[in-house]
Amino acid sequence: MVIFVCVTTAPALDACLAALDRSLPAGTRVLVADDAGGDPMMAPLAQSWCGHARLSARYLRRDRAYGRSRHRGYLVADHPGEDLVLLDGDALPAPGWLEQLQRCAKAHPDVATLSAWSNGAGLCSFPRACEDNPLPASLDAIAQAAAGLGDSALPDLPTAQGPCLYLRGEALRQLGGWDSETYADLGAEADYCHRAATMGWRNAMCPTAFVGRSEAGHESEAAGEDLHRLLARWPEHQEGFARFLLSDTLRPWRERLQARLAEVQGASRRGGPQGELFE
């Protein structure tokens, strides 16, 4: 298992790395991957963290900018056959997030990709779907609430969503990774998900994991062109999204998570014992 952190801005990366330090077991392999960003604070920040973290961390900086799709495609290709997690540099993982993703993947071997709840994750956004929500007041509380939902059933997604993407190595071997030649941005991830589905794999959400984000709402200039190319190859893409939105498939899950969160917050206010579970 390797976790890739694809950097954005230095302040966001600082918060992301601090969250990883708090939430990951010692020795977890982490690669902080810099696509030749222009922020002069990025390299010293990442190098310092990698040198002092209790994780097995290293920093990679490209000699020139390749763009989101090609940058991530190279990362995936460099680790053939391994289970991977791609994190946006503004991700703020809640406690237990990786353990929950791994549990879901183990319990459902037909899953090629897993997404997590987030305040900014499109279809997987919480508490309001397809909106950029504020960060939860407590990542500990939302993590505890999500963990209580259970992973015996996973809701399927039309494509992966959000700042965190879990990729099963076996599926990557079969499907061949990213099409970075055709797509420059998120289209490569959506194309991968469609290819996975045609081969019998599932793209699902792990309802027991939450990965927040600190800089929701930004979109690449290449997103529009990627959508045109995606629709040319997968004309059913837009209809699948529309059907998913109209049926509001995740509404029962959001309602359960909201109810669980209220229980956890209520117990915390009463000084109950549940607050110790994620310490």
Q: Is residue 16 part of a domain?
A: yes
Q: Is residue 179 part of a domain?
A: yes
Q: Is residue 210 part of a domain?
A: yes
pLDDT band at 272 (very low <50, low <70, confident <90, very high): low
CATH code of the domain covering residue 225 = 3.90.550.10
Evaluate if residue 165 carries a pLDDT over 50: yes
Give one DSSP letter per residue of 163-207, joined into a string. SEEEE-HHHHHHH-S--TTT-SSTHHHHHHHHHHHHTT-EEEEEE
**What is the arithmetic mean of pLDDT over 78-87?**
94
Q: What is the pLDDT of residue 151?
A: 80
Average pLDDT, the chain: 92
Q: How far apart are CA 220 and CA 185, in angstroms?
A: 7
Q: Is residue 245 part of a domain?
A: yes
Which residue do the tokens 């279809």 mark? 123
Q: How far apart are CA 68 and CA 266, in angstroms?
A: 42
| Enclosing domain of residue 206 | 2-269
Token couple for 196: 């996975």
**The total number of structural domains that make up the chain:** 1
Q: What digits encode the pLDDT tens for the residues 42-70?
A: 999 999 999 999 999 999 999 999 999 99
Token couple for 129: 């779907």
Q: What is the pLDDT of residue 222?
A: 66
Nearest to residue 1, comparing CAs of 73, 86, 118?
86
Report whether 253 contacts 157 (CB < 8 A): no
Q: What is the pLDDT of residue 252?
A: 96
Q: Is residue 277 part of a domain?
A: no
Q: How far apart are CA 139 and CA 259, in angstroms?
A: 16
Q: Is residue 33 part of a domain?
A: yes
